[in-house]
Amino acid sequence: MRWVWIALILGVALLIHVAWGSLSHWKRAETWQRLASPGALSAAHASLEATCVACHTSVTGVDAVKCIACHANNTSLLQRQPTAFHADITNCRECHVEHQGVNQRPTNMVHTALARIGLQQLADAEKASREPGSGIHVQLLHWIEEQGKAEHGSAGVPSLTPEEAVLRCATCHANEDRHFRLFGEDCALCHGTARWTIAEFRHPSARSLDCAQCHQAPPSHYMEHFRMVSQRVAGKPHAQVNQCYLCHQTTAWNDIKEVGWYKHH
């Protein structure tokens, strides 16, 4: 299953059959036992405050196996498109920080870490299946290094890190696509990974006739409802569905031109 996940989230064609070797662990010889806790745990883990070994192992430090032992089978997490990748991941601390105090949720999404984990799993898989240094991951890592040296991010478009650039955004975010696929699958053409809003964006004027180029009408507009309700409410019996501008303002879809706010029911 793992190679499927990686092929999906990384925007590269991976037609390699791989035998998965053991995954690398955090091999730093931590001396955490002798250290004081770096800070209070999050509210969710507060009950583990006295049980350091619930998450830490003397040899490997924070042990993902221990996190997984308590958190496997979280169906809502695995069924939700953006977080479904949890099914195939064996690193946790890259995005789940701890000891930040009870008021801090222990999550910080880091897309660069996500890409690095995917590439590392890919590298491990290739190492197990062929000569080291010959695989696609080497080309990818080389490409990332080159990208890092080059300028990226043109004016107005938020720049991705070179690692982020290998991610296929729509795999995890298609369900959040406000544009009904009208703008394609490559969200990163216009969006960065920190937030969906784009500070530079100025919406076209309410006098624009191009609304339908950027907006998809709801299914009800292609059914009897359009003639029976929409056209009547707007007082535009002859308007075609594609002439959004005849009935709509740019404020909100319920702000109907020359009518005002339309309240359902």
Binders of ligand HEC among residues 130 to 169 (CB under 6 A) are 160, 164, 167-169
66 scored as a contact of ligand HEC (CB under 6 A): yes
Q: What separation in angstroms does the CA of 79 have from each of 82, 83, 87, 132?
A: 9, 8, 10, 35
Dihedrals φ, ψ of 167, to 5°? -80, 145
Residue in 234, 168, 230 with CA at minimum distance from that of residue 11: 168
DSSP H helices, 86-164, are: 111-129, 136-149
Candidates 9, 122, 123, 140: give the one binding ligand HEC (CB under 6 A): 9
DSSP per-residue letters across 194-245: S-S--TT--PPPTT-S-HHHH-PPPGGGGSHHIIIIIHHHHT-TT--TT-HH
Least distance (Å) between residue 131 CB and ligand HEC: 29
Binders of ligand HEC among residues 183 to 202 (CB under 6 A) are 183-191, 193, 195-198, 201
102 scored as a contact of ligand HEC (CB under 6 A): no
* Cβ neighbours, 10 Å, residue 58: 13
Least distance (Å) between residue 133 CB and ligand HEC: 27
* Cβ neighbours, 10 Å, residue 195: 9
Nearer to ligand HEC, 57 or 129 (CB): 57
Candidates 19, 20, 21, 37: give the one binding ligand HEC (CB under 6 A): 37
213 scored as a contact of ligand HEC (CB under 6 A): yes
Binders of ligand HEC among residues 221 to 260 (CB under 6 A) are 221, 229-231, 233-234, 236, 239, 241-248, 250, 252-253, 256
67 scored as a contact of ligand HEC (CB under 6 A): yes
* Cβ neighbours, 10 Å, residue 215: 14
Give the binding range for ligand HEC (CB under 6 A) out of 13-21, 34-42, 138-146, 148-156. Answer: 34-42
